[in-house]
Amino acid sequence: MSVRCLLGIHKWSNWEYKEETSCLQIKKCQRCNKTQEELIHKWGEWEYKAQNSCIKIKKCYRCGERRERKPTMDKDHQYVTEYSRSNSCHYFRKECTRCGHTEEKYVTTPVHSWGDWVIFKDEKKAMRVCKHCGGVQTKELQEYLKKRSTYSNSWYR
């Protein structure tokens, strides 16, 4: 045995697969014949396990081993979000169009679906109504006009 090998300084060969259909690779010291083995897969891309599932799988090209990944975050699903309770802009329901997984979420600040502003000249007010819950937002006409004048005056007749 070489002194270098006793000190841990080996002269390694290149990694080679042990078998054609295996991912186990081996390298050998050219001086002392010590070997090291390492499992190195050649993974394919993540693909959906089934058309109605958000579970993904990938397969090793060499040995056929499979790995499975279950959805853990929102990005793993294909959600459609909608209001979940009538007359409330605080509750939302998300449903995955792929696997059907659903969640309901409460938000402290309502997310309104506002209609167009309506001007009441006599009352000097502008008002709009939420299309979902019926909530009303009003502004003094002067305040409303100030904010709108920076964009366009074409809406006011």
CA gap 157, 151 in Å, rounded: 15
Q: Report the candidate in 66, 26, 14, 23 with the shortest Cα–Cα distance to residue 42.
A: 23
From the CA atom positions of the chain, what is the Rg in Å?
A: 32
Q: Are strands 118-120 and 35-39 parallel, antiparallel or unpaired?
A: unpaired
Per-residue pLDDT tens digits for 51-110: 999 999 999 999 999 999 998 888 888 988 888 887 888 888 889 999 999 988 888 988
CA gap 133, 91 in Å, rounded: 11
Per-residue pLDDT tens digits for 3-14: 888 888 999 999
Per-residue pLDDT tens digits for 18-49: 888 899 999 999 999 999 999 999 999 999 99
pTM beyond 0.95, yes or no: no
Site of tokens 């090209």: 61
